[in-house]
Structure 1
Amino acid sequence: AAMSLRLTDIALRPTRRGPASARMKQLPSSNISVVAIQFAPPAQSNSAASSPGPINVRPATGVRRRSQSMNANSPVESAISFPDRTKVERTDRKTVVNLSIGSRSGSVSVFRPFPLKFSEEMRMSSTTVPPASGVPSTRVMRVFGAHPYHTDGDLLALCFASDGALWSVEEPGVVRRWDLDGRRQIGWHHLEELATLWAFSPDARRLAAASDDLAVWESATGQMVASWPQPCWVTAVAFQPNADVLAVGYDDGAVRLWDWPNQKLLQVIPAHDSAVSALAFSADGLRFASAGEDRAIHLWEAKTARPLGSLIGHTDRIPGLVWHPDGRRLYSAGWDTTARVWDVDTCEPIILLNSHASQVHTLVLSGDGNLLACADSANTIHIWDTTRNREVSVPPPQGREIRALAFNPDGRRLASGGAERIIHLWDSEKAQNDARQGDSQTTRTCLALSPDSRRLATLGAGATLGIWETKDATSGPELQDAGALRAFAASPDGKWIAGSRVVQEPTLALWDAVTGRQVALLEGQSGPVTALAFSADSCLLATGGPRRGDVWLWNIPEGAPALLLPCAADDCSVEALAFHPVKRVLAVGGVDWTAASSLLEGCVALWDVGQRRQLAVFRGGAVGLAFHPNGRRLAVASLVQTVRVLDLDDNALAAEWPAHNDAMTCVAYSPDGALLATGGDDHTVRLWDAETGVARAVAELDTQVKALCFSSDGRRLYTGNGNASCYELDVPGLLAEGV
């Protein structure tokens, strides 16, 4: 029987005790949706249906060999799911996969199976996209422009120490110390892998780690100073300031206060009707607040556990709480898209901060309480002046989920981090200035190589263009008066770099690529420019952006505009530009972001710029373009995971195939035209036979891939990454490894 099921994001970890295949977690049946990949056989009899039964895991190809058997408590198991997004732990050719089992009663059990042999017969994917196999480190030949505060795992918590050093903790249990003035890491320790929850003490000296037990670590030494089991799963932890007390929340709704050096239980409080979602102590440590999945906030006296009042108003989950230093106000973050300010004496709301358009899931106050920063599920941070109750800054959105925020001791710096695996630092004053300019368009990731491939130019999320020597990754010349750039392009003859500046007017500037000297300002085009391309003879520059969809063409020898193509992509936002390798034909790729299905809507338009006429229009959104070296085909990257190849002789679609498991962002042909490279948000680069579309190689990276560029001999492939770095990949090695 067919069943309609919906995916719910659930992050679970195994316990630190018990057998390898023990159940990690059983979820209640209320409001839980399950993805069914395979249905288990129905119960054979009434007696079998009323007692726990075995679940057999078999290879996807149907090989008649039982790989594993596990027991679940639900009488009838009706759905089995290997979550696509589960992180797979792989050593050599073995893999460990989390298994979710859904029952007809609506409950979900999540198991940690024994390690399974990773072989062709164990592939679970039904898509035609080859699964990523992972790139050995030897295939990444060099790294350019790596972010100084880059981590290996998703960031989970941040905290500044009194000396200004920043502490971070990431999956899987790695704590790092950062010198922000020196832009470097000055210490790290690997603590443990199985904790699901981490919390720093206010002074960053200690770190609590929890799952179904609780441990306290010294941040500086990486030494465990306490560890003891817990009665049930831990969902929230907070250190009491200036005391050796931990407040711990559980999934049964209770809050326990522990004298952690002695593992002595001080108080047990039946605080909530469902799991505790957040805890926070006041600055003096005399009171604390708890929030629960019941959408209520309760105030407590820390010493006696006496209830002091309840704060009611949020209509969805409350994942974050923070007290003002004066102890009179409490701030809360809610999945109802609001942050709220409460008077703790009257238990009444003071202000509703509702500038967010999505769920607010973390917040932090500066040390003096004058600034509040909130992060939401749109990966955006909003900074508020609490003295005037007004929003003062919205830094540019980050590429992935923000999970942690921290102000430095003087409140002038805000650190943010999360799934992007980069710690971003925001200057409060500069962020305010940027916000007043009213332009928060994000920087495009761009790459360009010199004709001899000896120099590489990169632009990433840091909005600073870097020029590198490819032989040793050393820095080259800086561009004069460049400042922050939105996008750039390099001329094929290697003489020029054209860039779109974020702040300065005029927006467009031209530099000598060898010396970095600014040689011209291109005046006339207004608004942000996010796409640039040089013609094959390096005499023309095409520029476009999100506003109006116009494309300007510039005569480079004269430094003046030569042609304006209004609505060059049929009223779409201009997302990509590419010139024909021989003819003066310009391809313009656009996306209609106003359409209901904007990922699909848009077009690719071909223009004869010499004759000033449109040659053809191909429907379908485009964010990346690449001409085949012979000029007869055009590869198109779109956000719908497929690559399209257009036949320019017949002005028709020549081929289309699924290329990625997430948004596809970029394409590039090898110099000989034999290979087509594609990159995407699924953290992979894929190499295809350009003629047949057959997959030749898959490179799985640790970051999203936003731009691609082959070396002149085709033996190296450069990737512009979502974490602002650039990788040099060994193409022959990847091809030898295959898919």
Structure 2
Amino acid sequence: MVKSYLKFEHSNTFGLVTSASSNAIWVRDDDIFGTARQTGSGRAVAGAGEEVLCWDIKKGELLGKWKDSACKAQVTVITQSKTDADIFAVGYEDGSIRIWDSRTATVIISFNGHKSAITQLAFDNAGVRLASGSRDTDIILWDLIAEVGLFKLRGHTDQVTSLNFLVPSPELLNEAGLNDHAGFLITTGKDALIKIWDLASQHCIETHVAQSNGECWSLGLAPDQSGCITGGNDGELKAWSIDESAMIEISKEKAGSENRKILTDRGSFYRNGKDRTTGISFHPKADYVAFHGAEKAVEIWRIRSETEVQKSLSRKRKRRKEKEAQRATENGEDSEIVDNEKPVEDVSAAPVTEVFVSYVIVRTGGKVRSFDWIRTKSSGKLQLLAATTNNQLEAYSVATLNKKNKDDEDMEYNRTLAVDIPGHRTDIRSVALSSDDRMLASASNGSLKIWNVRTQNCLRTLECGYSLCSAFLPGDKIVVIGNKDGELEVFDIASSTLLDTIKAHDGPVWSLQVHPDGKSLVSGSADKSAKFWNFQVVQEEIPGTKRTTPRLKLVHSRTLKVSDDILNVRFSPDARLLAVALLDNTVKVFFTDSLKLFLNLYGHKLPVLNMDISYDSKLIVTCSADKTVRLWGLDFGDCHKSFLAHEDSIMAVAFVPNNKEGNGHNFFSASKDRVIKYWDGDKFEHIQKLAGHHGEIWAMTISHSGEFIVTASHDKSLRTWQQTDEPLFLEEEREKELEEIYDNNLAASLEQEEDGDGEKAEAVDAGKQTTDTLMAGEKIMEALDLGMEDLEVVREWRALKAKQPNAAPPSRNPLYIALGNISAEQHLLNVVQRIPAAALQDALLVLPFSKVSALFTFLNIWASREWNIPLTCRVLFFMLKTHHRQIIASKLMRPMLDSIRSSLRRVLTRQKDEMGFNISALQFVGQQIKAHSTKDYIDEQVWEEQDRQTGTGKKRVFSSIA
């Protein structure tokens, strides 16, 4: 009988606040009504691995988690729609884009057009188009209404680092009669170029060298689109002015407009940090702009007003005249100097260094990954949200320039809020579970955290040294940490206190384990010794009183000296043996009572990093930096099997701790190749591969029940993998792995075919063939073949019935009978409707021209019966565009096209009339409501604008107009 195993699946991810791979953005609170939306601190939406997390900044609570189970790639970029605050676009590392609805935490649309990670996303002002830039150098414009890619723009030779829509002001567009103009796109790339694309003609109309010293990493566009700043290496920044009138002329295609330039270089200036500038953002309302690089700082600069620039220039002119007069007096010349220098009337001609002045440097708690302005109503303060690479979100408040502090040199800033408790700042180096599997201890450099395994909440955070190993003591109230300084730190969880620090070793404590009897522990160190520590409860006097309190102490009892550094120690479950892994690639097994050498296990080519002994003390498994796992017998020390298990160093192995289902010799291995593997130690079979981490796995522990494992990774996440009731068969698992390899190879070959299609055009179709689109295309072909056969059968039966009214009904394909005896045209429509709109065009490209006439036959039936007219039109127009030459050359298809045209024209004319009538009716209803109402709603932005102009600080109200 074929042996079956129980499958393990990823169940939870926790310990992540924000990933270093993605940006974080600030959004308003959910409560739209009342004052909560304006006065709350808002939410932070941040990428965390393959998930998007929504945090309450004030409470530090996780409000929501957006995860697509089909997606395993990391989030790389997040942006919010400008018109609908609940709509977010999220880009992933595999080149896919998902549009999320934050209220329901569901994916509305999925797009797949890029070959590599998405680097930038931008919504247009109307919220109906999305532009995406990627590491594959392409820019794609997506239509969010039709759910399709419009076109792909090619021009950059390295990854796209920023993109923004450029649209002239509505007043200028109205004057020019260009209300329906597609607008422009401004992009920068790592190739140091800044480009402007005309979206109407789908061509690049301007290219400038953005930076003089290598790559261009970022672009910040002014809120009024009057200018922008680009950032490159060495802290270099370049200012550009944007000419709106030139955009209008180019849009109208006026004579001579080809010589007009939209962008004009205003000059360079340098920020204080000398690293590359990876983020630039203008404040949406105040005259400030902020920059950040890869350092622990956000620099805020002030934009001077025209009067301030004039004052500064006149002051410098005055100083210059004074110096010249002084120099003339010293040389004995006539001190009267004629002032030929004219004052600068136009501030736009002033040096850019006079316009932008450094205001304050906000020092953050980690290297800045991204930042976003917090747009709450605050009393004259700038607020920003910074996401750092060390897994935390911080909110800062900066005082703005006013009369009181104009003379102060340094502006003050405060860290007002932070989300940092639910995660470690540094890599987690060890994990340990309590005896009842309800609590998890995770330790890193500087902090020990205790987690509730069921709810994933952080219960305690304690400061510790650079932790390398950890263990719960019997009773689960105390945790022992071994650190890099050779110390054992003893923590009490209930009181969150450090009970004791013992200088145990002269080198790092690499490993420790509690004795199976629960009365002592052993620690192994790089000082070539393993020390045994007994647990003793001593009565300690409370300072200042005569009362005593019981306290746990670790008392050193024995020392085992060995020939090399100890990397790992392990007791056998029967407590008879102690295994010690040494730096010389060997494992020595000693008797626990006498500490005499019993076995010497050698065979690994590099040091053994971890090991474990089976529940019956008969097998020991060792893993090494040589990428192999070895199984040894503990009776004679013979090597049963050696596996080349992973593609990188193996950091942890663990046997299933009991033999409930005959799986006591099954074990897990975790490696720096980001994968966990499940093995059968009796049959030497690889059972299952668990992939999900986005960084090297440093530590792993298995529950005492054997029902779940916990892993910790360089990506700062903790993941639990739960055993399910689903049986797993080895043959099926191997087949799945082969299919995965085949799919990956197929996708790679499809990409190569796309790349090899002649010379790259500047604008091409935004499509990408995937295995899903190929399967969808094959389903359409299959439905077409069945449909044409069925149409022929039904046509013959109708001809027969005209002659013989009592003729028996035709014998149709069993598939149609099973689906409720539906017609062939209905079945094909159902198949096409089930294909996602974003993948439909790529699926239709799979059809050869020989199938096009069959498809047009069905399109004709759909049009005449008025079935799903939008879908019918979309398929028809795409096929006409794709196969235009062959269709016009085909005599068979002309009468069919005439029939489709007349049917569609009739239906579309009626639909157009209906829509026109409905729009007019809605406008009339709106006018009636407005005429009879006594209150008018003033939009928040309009009111704030009036506030700024009048200088009054009134709250927004409904102003009475009756």
TM-score in terms of structure 1 length: 0.53
Partner in structure 2 of residue 384 of structure 1: 297
| CA distance in 2 between partners of 1:725 and 1:223 (Å) | 23
Superposition deviation, residue 307 in structure 1: 5.6
What corresponds to 1:587 in structure 2?
580
* Displacement of 1:260: 9.6
Give the conservation status (yes or no) of the 8 Å contact 1:157–1:405: yes
* Aligned equivalent of 2:831: none
Please name the residue that 1:21 is paired with: none
Give the counterpart of 2:209 among 289, 293, 310.
310
Question: Is the CA contact (8 Å cut-off) linking 1:446 and 1:487 kept in structure 2?
Answer: no
Residue equivalent to 1:200 = 79
Q: In structure 2, which of residues 600, 623, 629 is the aligned counterpart of residue 637 of structure 1?
A: 623
Contact 2:25 2:78 in 1 (8 A): no
* Rounded Cα–Cα distance in structure 1 between residues aligned with 2:634 and 2:594: 17
Q: Determine whether 1:342 maps to 2:242.
A: no
Q: Distance in 2 between matches of 1:223 and 1:512?
A: 42
1:447: which partner in 2?
Answer: 432
SS at match of 1:625: strand
Shift in Å, 1:644: 1.5
Does the aligned pair in 2 maintain the 1:238–1:280 contact within 8 Å?
yes
Match for residue 184 of structure 1 among 55, 62, 66: 62
Partner of 1:657: 643
**Are 2:514 and 1:534 aligned?**
yes
Give the secondary structure class of the aligned counterpart of 1:465: strand
Match of 1:499 in 2: 480
- Which range moved further: 517-526 or 382-391? 382-391
**Cα 1:364–1:192, aligned 2, differ >3 Å: closer, same or farther?**
farther
After superposition, where does 1:351-370 map in structure 2 within 5 Å?
363=279
Q: What stretches of structure 2 of length at least 5 have no aligned partner?
A: 30-41, 170-183, 240-264, 301-357, 375-381, 397-413, 419-423, 537-552, 734-962
Q: Which structure carries more helix by proportion? A: 2
Tell me by how many angstroms 1:221 deviates.
8.1
Q: Could you tell me how far 1:369 is from its partner in structure 2? A: 5.3
Q: Secondary structure at the match of 2:669?
A: strand
In the other structure, the counterpart of 2:44 is 166
Supply the AA of the counterpart residue of 1:676.
N
**Partner Cα separation in structure 1 for residue 613 and residue 487 of structure 2:** 27
State yes or no: 1:559 paired with 2:554.
yes
- Once the two structures are TM-superposed, the CA of residue 158 in structure 1 deviates from its matched residue by 3.9
Alignment: residue pair count: 546
Matched, 1:290 2:282: no
Asked if 1 retains the 8 angstrom alpha-carbon contact of 2:479 and 2:492, the reply is: no
Matched residues in 1 for 2:65 and 2:587: separation? 50
Aligned twin of 2:292: 372
Q: How far apart, CA to CA, are the structure 2 residues paired with 1:635 and 1:497?
A: 29
CA distance in 2, matches of 1:708, 1:353: 40
What is the alpha-carbon distance in structure 2 between the residues aligned to residue 217 and residue 586 of structure 1?
Answer: 52
What is the CA distance between 1:372 and its match in structure 2? Answer: 2.1
Q: Distance in 2 between matches of 1:732 and 1:301?
A: 53
Task: Give the equivalent residue in structure 1 for 2:449.
Answer: 465
After superposition, the Cα gap between the structure-2 partners of 1:188 and 1:684, relative to the gap in structure 1 and judged at 3 Å, is: closer
Any gaps of 5 or more consecutive residues in structure 1? 1-129, 333-337, 375-381, 397-401, 434-438, 591-600
Asked if residue 668 in structure 1 is aligned to residue 654 in structure 2, the reply is yes
Structure 2 match to 1:414: 386
Question: In structure 2, do the counterparts of structure 1 residues 147 and 179 end up closer, same or farther at CA, with 3 Å as the change threshold?
Answer: same
Deviation at 1:656, TM superposition (A): 0.8
Counterpart CA distance in 1 for 2:458 and 2:123 is 49
Q: Is the 8 A contact 2:235 2:275 kept in 1?
A: no
CA shift, 1:693, in A, is 1.9
Return the match for 1:729 from 716, 723, 735: 723
Distance change (3 Å), C-alpha of 1:364 and 1:661: farther
CA distance in 2, matches of 1:659, 1:394: 39
Contact persistence 2:195–2:207 (CA under 8 A):
yes
> Equivalent pairs: percent with the same residue?
14
In 2, Cα distance between equivalents of 1:228 and 1:645: 47
1:659 Cα offset (Å): 3.1
Contact 1:511 1:520 in 2 (8 A): yes
Q: 1:481 and 1:405, CA in 2 relative to 1: closer, same or farther beyond 3 A?
A: closer
Correspondence for 1:98: none
**How far does residue 643 in structure 1 lie from its aligned partner after superposition?**
1.2
Residues 467 and 478, structure 1, Cα contact 8 Å, conserved in 2: yes
Residue identity matched to 1:184: L
Post-superposition Cα deviations, 1:62-114, rounded to whole Å, max 9, x if no partner, equal xxxxxxxxxxxxxxxxxxxxxxxxxxxxxxxxxxxxxxxxxxxxxxxxxxxxx
Distance 1:194 1:354, change over 3 A: same
Task: Determine which structure has more spread, i.e. the larger CA radius of gyration.
Answer: 2
Cα distance per residue 1:367-402 (max 9 Å; x no partner): 66556254xxxxxxx433537999966859xxxxx9
The separation in 1 between residues aligned to 2:431 and 2:112, in whole angstroms, is 50
Report matched runs for 1:8-47 at 5 Å: none
- Paired amino acid for 1:342: L
Task: Tell me by how many angstroms 1:441 deviates.
Answer: 5.5
Q: Alignment partner for residue 331 of structure 1, among 231, 256, 261?
A: 231
2:427 aligned counterpart, secondary structure: coil
Give the letter for the 1:680 counterpart: A
Q: Hey, what's the Cα distance between the residues in 2 that align with 1:565 and 1:363? A: 55
Shift of 1:521: 0.5
Measure the CA separation in 1 of the matches of 2:127 and 2:458: 53
Pairs within 5 Å for 1:97-176: 146-147=14-15, 158-163=24-29, 164-167=42-45
Q: 2:427, 2:96 → 1: CA distance?
A: 42
Map of 2:489 onto structure 1: 509
Contact 1:718–1:727 at 8 Å: present in 2 too? yes
Given that residues 5 and 728 in structure 2 are in contact (C-alpha distance below 8 angstroms), is that contact kept between their aligned partners in structure 1?
Answer: no
RMSD: 6.6
Residue 489 of structure 1 contacts residue 497 of structure 1 at CA under 8 Å; is this kept in 2?
no
For 2:296, what is the secondary structure of its paired residue?
A: strand
Q: Is the 8 A contact 1:237 1:278 kept in 2?
A: no
Letter in 2 for 1:179: D
Give me the whole-angstrom Cα distance separating, in 2, the residues matched to 1:385 and 1:550.
48
Task: Name the SS of the counterpart of 2:429 in structure 1.
Answer: coil
Say whether the 8 Å CA contact 2:439–2:452 is kept in structure 1: yes
For 1:150 and 1:288, the matched residues in 2 are separated by: 30
Which of 684, 688, 700 is the equivalent residue of 2:690? 700
- Correspondence for 1:277: 160
Higher relative CO (Cα under 8 Å, sequence separation at least 6) belongs to 2
Q: How many Å apart are 1:446 and its aligned residue?
A: 1.3
Partner SS for 2:608: coil
Match of 1:522 in 2: 501
- How far the C-alpha of 1:208 sits from its partner, in A, is 5.5
Q: Give the whole-Å Cα distance in 2 for the aligned partners of 1:583 and 1:659.
A: 29
The CA distance in 1 between the partners of 2:76 and 2:621, in whole Å, is 45
Partner of 2:914: none
Amino acid at match of 2:685: V
Aligned twin of 2:570 = 578
2: CA distance, partners of 1:539 / 1:640? 35
Q: CA deviation at 1:627?
A: 2.0
What do residues 426-453 of structure 1 show as CA deviations (whole Å, max 9, x unaligned)?
Answer: 678999x9xxxxx976222413341xx4
Task: Name the CA distance, whole Å, in 2 between partners of 1:623 and 1:499.
Answer: 20
1:542 Cα offset (Å): 3.8
